[in-house]
Structure 1
Amino acid sequence: MASSVEVFGGGTAVITGAAAGIGAGLARHAALALRMNVVLADVDRAALERTCADITADGGQATPAVVDVRDAAAVQDLADRVVKESGPPRLLVNNAGIQQFGYLWDTPVANWERLVAVNISGVFHGIRAFLPHLLARSESAWVLNLASIGSVTAWPLQTPYIMSKHAVLSMTECLYQEVELAGARHIRVSAVLPGAVTSRIFDDAGGVDGGDLGAAEKEREAMFRVRERAISPEEAAATILRQAADGEFYIVTQPDSVLGAMRDRAEQLTARRAPAPPRSRFAAPQPE
């Protein structure tokens, strides 16, 4: 079986949401361990430039691209520019995502619309902009869409995020079938289901400006405790790209917890059991 370096080395990678967290981990691993030419796309210019500077200082090839994935035209411009300058990317990672805490009925409409635009439409915009370029050529290419362990669970007080990750997972499953139907065997599509990975997604998450503020902040604090037991973005990136190179469709960063959640979901559906608030598989043990 080919190694990650043999599969991806020397190619171009485009990663959205690449300024921090798991996106930055993927960019660093692709640039430094796999020797890829990495285009980092993010809406946060300052963080993006810092991440690119860190990668280039360590000897990697990193190009910043300030792009808001909510803007279909901007993502299309990015795709056209990358193809013109470097050819179709060998690796496309649709990673950009944001969080939201609080009861669904307390969620501000603006927060809902922003999350849907980033987490769902952002993935669609990446697919729509890059897939025609990949289909037009015969070179092998990999498309990775970031779902989450949340894409196979139901979790209260994070409903917009959980809903969006279910959508990304189903979008990716359908995309896999469509690529097969189109006869594009040179394109590999995968859904990435990370468990807990260190990032600022909980710090930067939206909350509520009315209703039960306490419930929203209590859930944020619970996720901070989960983060204490998270793996690093670099560790997650190495696992993700190794499994992608191995041809996995469902890519998981922590098999025990993520595959356990997948089994629980399957059992719940087949038993027609109503969902109950789950206990986090990543939470620290509680004292007796």
Structure 2
Amino acid sequence: MPTAREVFAGGLAVVTGAGAGIGAGLTRHLAGDLGMTVIAADVDAEAVHRIAGELGRHVVPHVVDVRDPDAVDRLARHVEEEFGPVRLLINNAGVEQFGYLWDVSPTNWQRVVEVNISGVFHGIRAFLPGMIAAGGRSHVLSLASIGAVTSLPLQAPYIMSKHAVLAMTECLHQEVAEVGADIVVSAVLPGLVESDIFRSAGGVESGDVAAAEEQRRTMLAIREQAISADEAAEAIVAQAARGEFYIVTHPELVHAAMAARAEQLVNRRPPAPHRSRFAAAEQARRRMRRQSR
């Protein structure tokens, strides 16, 4: 099996959402460990320039809002003109949302759709034609989530968006094969990875605000079980180099979720009330703390 260094070292990568979380971990790994030139794109100017400052000349920061198709088009044109063919495109930018679905505002719903779904589409539409035309082997990774193969209450907009990203990536895989392009398409399904996505997630302004904020607190509390963004990045890139389609950071957990989802569909069962294994573990710890007082 080829190694990440054999496949990617010295090439050109584009990473969206590169300023924090998994995106920052990927940027550090690609530029620092593999010596790739990384076009680091993020809507947060301070964050993306900070990581570029940490890593030096291998990282070229760009302030880009993936919700804006014209901005992503301009980025693609600039990259092609100034740096040449892209070997690795990672559509990573994403946001979270808490609250019962009927309490979520249209503005917050649209934010999730535009960043998590349309942002991936804009990246594919802007970069794929050039990658196909270049002719060499290249890779496209789109960040879904373990949520793409399961369901979860109080996070419906996010879960919906990750199901959409997975479906979009599966279709892209088929389309790339149909035109005979030498592009490896992969869907990334991380489990819990250190980031600020839960802290910066949207909430609700009316309705059951307390339920939304309790879900935020639950997810923040279980971050101690998360792996580091750098550890996740190394695992993701290694699997991409091997040409795997479903890339995971927590194999046991994600594979179990896939199996449960398949079994549910085969047996046509409605989704049961659900709490993640992470949340269940946290609730158990809380009960033990209360009993020890």
Q: TM-score range by the shorter chain?
A: over 0.9
Counterpart of 1:84 (choices 75, 81, 95) is 81
Measure how far apart 1:225 and its partner are.
1.9
- Distance in 1 of aligned mates of 2:73 and 2:145: 25
User: Once superposed, what is the RMSD of the aligned Cα atoms?
Assistant: 1.0
Counterpart amino acid of 2:261? R
Secondary structure (helix, strand or coil) at the match of 1:167 reads helix
Give the match for residue 129 of structure 2.
Answer: 132
Residues 204-215 of structure 1 mapped to structure 2, 5 A cutoff? 204-215=200-211
Measure how far apart 1:226 and its partner are.
2.1
- Distance in 2 of aligned mates of 1:97 and 1:229: 21
- Distance in 2 of aligned mates of 1:231 and 1:243: 17
Percent identity of paired positions between Structure 1 and Structure 2: 61
Secondary structure (helix, strand or coil) at the match of 2:102 reads helix
- Distance in 1 of aligned mates of 2:246 and 2:196: 24
Give the match for residue 75 of structure 1.
Answer: 72
- Distance in 2 of aligned mates of 1:216 and 1:264: 26
- Distance in 2 of aligned mates of 1:212 and 1:136: 51
CA contact (8 A) 1:257 1:282 kept: no
- Distance in 1 of aligned mates of 2:273 and 2:110: 25
1:45 aligns with 2:45: yes
Q: Residue by residue, what CA displacement relative to the aligned partner does 1:248-270 show, whole Å, maximum 9, x if unpaired?
A: 00000010111111111011111
- Distance in 2 of aligned mates of 1:204 and 1:194: 18
Give the match for residue 23 of structure 1.
Answer: 23
Give the match for residue 279 of structure 1.
Answer: 275
Counterpart of 2:247 (choices 251, 255, 261) is 251
CA contact (8 A) 2:186 2:247 kept: yes
Give the match for residue 121 of structure 1.
Answer: 118
- Which of the pair is proportionally richer in helix? 2
Measure how far apart 1:282 and its partner are.
2.8
Counterpart of 1:144 (choices 119, 141, 158) is 141
Where has structure 1 moved over 2 Å in runs of 4 or more?
A: 281-285
1:34 aligns with 2:34: yes
Give the match for residue 291 of structure 2.
Answer: none
Residues 209-224 of structure 1 mapped to structure 2, 5 A cutoff? 209-224=205-220
CA contact (8 A) 1:29 1:234 kept: yes
Give the match for residue 183 of structure 1.
Answer: 180
Q: How many residues align?
A: 284
CA contact (8 A) 1:252 1:258 kept: yes
- Distance in 2 of aligned mates of 1:277 and 1:71: 37
Secondary structure (helix, strand or coil) at the match of 1:171 reads helix
Moved more, 218-227 or 147-156: 218-227
Give the match for residue 266 of structure 2.
Answer: 270
CA contact (8 A) 1:40 1:62 kept: yes
Secondary structure (helix, strand or coil) at the match of 1:136 reads helix
- Distance in 1 of aligned mates of 2:222 and 2:254: 14
- Distance in 1 of aligned mates of 2:74 and 2:277: 41
- Distance in 2 of aligned mates of 1:282 and 1:128: 36
Counterpart amino acid of 1:227? R
- Distance in 2 of aligned mates of 1:32 and 1:129: 26
- Distance in 2 of aligned mates of 1:165 and 1:189: 16
Measure how far apart 1:55 and its partner are.
1.6
Measure how far apart 1:162 and its partner are.
0.2
Measure how far apart 1:19 and its partner are.
0.2
1:166 aligns with 2:163: yes
1:103 aligns with 2:100: yes
CA contact (8 A) 2:152 2:275 kept: no
Measure how far apart 1:277 and its partner are.
2.6
CA contact (8 A) 1:40 1:64 kept: yes
1:232 aligns with 2:205: no
Q: Residue by residue, what CA displacement relative to the aligned partner does 1:166-202 show, whole Å, maximum 9, x if unpaired?
A: 0000000000000000111x10000000000000000
Counterpart of 2:197 (choices 198, 201, 210) is 201
- Distance in 2 of aligned mates of 1:53 and 1:116: 31
Measure how far apart 1:227 and its partner are.
1.1
- Distance in 2 of aligned mates of 1:2 and 1:103: 45
- Distance in 1 of aligned mates of 2:239 and 2:277: 22
1:63 aligns with 2:60: yes
Unaligned runs of 5+ in 1: none
- Distance in 1 of aligned mates of 2:38 and 2:131: 17
Unaligned runs of 5+ in 2: 289-293
Counterpart amino acid of 2:83? S
Counterpart amino acid of 2:45? R
